[in-house]
Amino acid sequence: MSTIGASVSHSGMDGNVVSSPMEFNPLMPEFIANPYPFYRRLREEDPVHRSTLLPDTWVVTRYADVAMILRDARFGRHDAENFFREQFGEGPLLNVFTKWMLFRDPPDHTRLRNLVNKAFTPRAIEGLRPRIQELVNYLLDAVQTRGSMDIMADLAYPLPVLVICELLGVPAKDRDLFKEWSGDVARTLDPIQMPEMVAKGHAVVDSMVTYFRGLIATLRKNPQGDILSAMIAAEEQGDRLSEDELLANCILLFSAGHETTVNLIGNGLLALIHHPEQKQLLQENPNLIQSAVEEFLRYDGSVQLTGRSTKEDVEIGGKLIRQGERVMTVLAAANRDPAQFSDPDRLDITRKDNYHVALGQGIHFCLGASLARAEGQIAIGTLLQRISRLTLLEETPQWRPAFTLRGLQTLPVTF
Ligand code: HEM
């Protein structure tokens, strides 16, 4: 276990540090409940921290360093295969993850990303807004007269599944399968893995591969206007995409597009419930929804960290990172860096120049950024317009026991 003696406050999401000495260990319940005081301590005292929890790994928490690493070609994914082999051993997780564009360097990364990029441009996503609005209305109609709801189960979870399944061309009758699968895949992205999570991850990815193999066979005979049919056409044109790459990147789109957006909606609404004055401001000024969603992404982002490896020796903040070592870029810590954001622990839905890194930076910048923003804006904006008063049923909502993808188990409210 790593031992930077962090002093933390366990309450609120304000990032304030009070004194109660403790180890830095992201598996601790206190860390999962509120990682921000730990991040603050790291950023202030050891911003390029040598992990003693993970081998040959540095934990980087300052905004300038994180943004530099994500944009600098001296850092890349060349070590992804070794990393996943160490994490998972041989099997479906290794076979699939190593073909995700997210874990490839150019030129493979460029080739894979270009195949699906068109479907996710801001313009293409604008065209989806009416459909997303319809889905949000449909989900809220089901709860409006009930007087209570679990925001996670009734809105945050179903919306992104419905949207990504429609985009990919997954038939409506199969969509429930995906709800279960996505959580198990999401948990395999944590840097620290328990054997039972790995076993579950292998089994789930194997089921997804089997499912998509069947769907691809159907769509090959009968192409539709969805992304998957377009990818199949590219595969059939020859050397642009192999069937394994096609299967793997379908699973990536599904996984990257689901749990992340679920948690944008959940974390964003929880932040608002904890800041009633900001909630009221947004309800009175619905046109603030765009800057509000950027602030939710910055304040309590659903993707807390990502990683790279060094292709050569690089010095950061006076520390020498040797060739081949790994860096864990903590996006959520960078997003609270006072050198970049004024009063960073304050939720301010009107914040200007909010250049957060919650959606990444550089060549791997989130492909689904416009889609995630549209879903977040429509879901949160519509809920606040339709339901004026939201009261938390549990004083301290439970976070999922995950570190990379941060989100709530449930968010029960009455209204
Ligand atoms: C709030 C929701 C979301 C967040 C916070 C988020 C965050 C991120 C981040 C931080 C990265 C970069 C990771 C890195 O550099 O290592 C990324 C990449 C990616 N995201 Fe998202 N994402 C979200 C929603 C989505 C959606 C809706 C989709 C698609 C359907 C999507 C698809 C992808 C893909 C395919 C990549 C890899 C891009 C590449 O390697 O070039 N994401 N996302």
For ligand 1, say whether the CB of 113 is within 6 Å of any of its atoms. yes
Distance in angstroms (rounded) separating the CA atoms of residues 373 and 375 = 6
Distance in angstroms (rounded) separating the CA atoms of residues 364 and 224 = 28
Sequence letter at residue 333: A
CA 254 to centroid of ligand 1, rounded, Å: 11
Full-model pTM: 0.93
Confidence (pLDDT) at 401: 85
Among residues 333, 349, 307, the alpha carbon closest in space to that of 69 is found at: 307
Counting atoms of ligand 1 from 1, which one is nearest the CA of 307? 16
For ligand 1, say whether the CB of 258 is within 6 Å of any of its atoms. no
Q: Which two tokens stand for residue 222?
A: 């009968």
SS3 314: strand
Distance in angstroms (rounded) separating the CA atoms of residues 199 and 274 = 37
pLDDT digits over 343-397, tens only?
999 999 999 999 999 999 999 999 999 999 999 999 999 999 999 899 999 888 8
- Of residues 132 and 10, the one with the higher pLDDT is 132
Distance in angstroms (rounded) separating the CA atoms of residues 128 and 110 = 25
Span of 39-43, 169-173, 328-332 with lowest mean pLDDT = 169-173
Q: At what angle do helices 369-386 and 129-144 cross, to 10 degrees?
A: 40
pLDDT digits over 114-138, tens only?
988 888 999 989 999 999 999 999 9
**Which residue CA neighbors atom 18 of ligand 1 most closely?**
366
- Report, as an integer, the average pLDDT of 285-290: 98
E strand or H helix at 392, and its extent? strand 391-392
CA 362 to centroid of ligand 1, rounded, Å: 12
Q: Which two tokens stand for residue 106?
A: 């150019």
HSE value, Cβ hemisphere, 13 Å, CA-based, for 25: 10
- Report, as an integer, the average pLDDT of 208-217: 94
Could you tell me if 376 and 293 are in contact, meaning their C-beta atoms sit under 8 angstroms apart? Answer: yes
Counting atoms of ligand 1 from 1, which one is nearest the CA of 308? 16
E strand or H helix at 315, and its extent? strand 314-316
Cβ neighbours of residue 140 closer than 8 Å, sequence gap 6 or more: 155, 382, 383, 386, 387
For ligand 1, say whether the CB of 164 is within 6 Å of any of its atoms. yes
E strand or H helix at 81, and its extent? helix 80-88
Question: Which of 359, 373, 380 for a ligand 1 pocket mutation test, highest count of atoms within 8 Å of Cβ?
Answer: 359
CA 141 to centroid of ligand 1, rounded, Å: 30
Cβ neighbours of residue 38 closer than 8 Å, sequence gap 6 or more: 6, 8, 24, 26, 31
Burial class (CB in 10 A: 0-12, 13-18, 19+), 25: middle
For CA atoms 190, 195, 199, 202, give the dihedral sign: positive
**Which residue CA neighbors atom 13 of ligand 1 most closely?**
360
CA 354 to centroid of ligand 1, rounded, Å: 18
Confidence (pLDDT) at 13: 57
Helices within 121-226 (DSSP H only): 122-126, 129-144, 151, 158-168, 175-187, 195-221
CA 102 to centroid of ligand 1, rounded, Å: 8
CA 341 to centroid of ligand 1, rounded, Å: 23
Terminal C-alpha separation, the chain = 44
Confidence (pLDDT) at 15: 55
Q: Report whether pLDDT(24) > 60.
A: no
Tokens 């925001």: give the residue.
Answer: 151
- Report, as an integer, the average pLDDT of 389-413: 91
The number of angstroms, rounded, from the C-alpha of 356 to the middle of its chain's C-alpha atoms is 14
CA 316 to each of CA 50, 144, 353, 393: distance values in angstroms, whole numbers, following the listed order: 12, 52, 25, 45
**Which residue CA neighbors atom 37 of ligand 1 most closely?**
102
CA 6 to centroid of ligand 1, rounded, Å: 30
Distance in angstroms (rounded) separating the CA atoms of residues 239 and 24 = 47
Among residues 125, 189, 96, 104, the alpha carbon closest in space to that of 363 is found at: 104
Confidence (pLDDT) at 386: 96
**Which residue CA neighbors atom 27 of ligand 1 most closely?**
257
The band of 39, judged by pLDDT with boundaries at 50, 70 and 90, is very high
For ligand 1, say whether the CB of 262 is within 6 Å of any of its atoms. no
Across all residues in the chain, what is the average pLDDT? 90
Cis peptide upstream of residue 55 (ω within 30 degrees of 0): no
pLDDT digits over 316-331, tens only?
999 999 999 999 999 9
Counting atoms of ligand 1 from 1, which one is nearest the CA of 302? 5
CA 5 to centroid of ligand 1, rounded, Å: 33
Question: Which residues in 18-122 belong to E strands, given as ranges?
Answer: 21-22, 48-50, 57-60, 75-76
The number of angstroms, rounded, from the C-alpha of 390 to the middle of its chain's C-alpha atoms is 25
Confidence (pLDDT) at 263: 96
The number of angstroms, rounded, from the C-alpha of 44 to the middle of its chain's C-alpha atoms is 25
Name the DSSP class of 51.
Answer: P
CA 367 to centroid of ligand 1, rounded, Å: 5
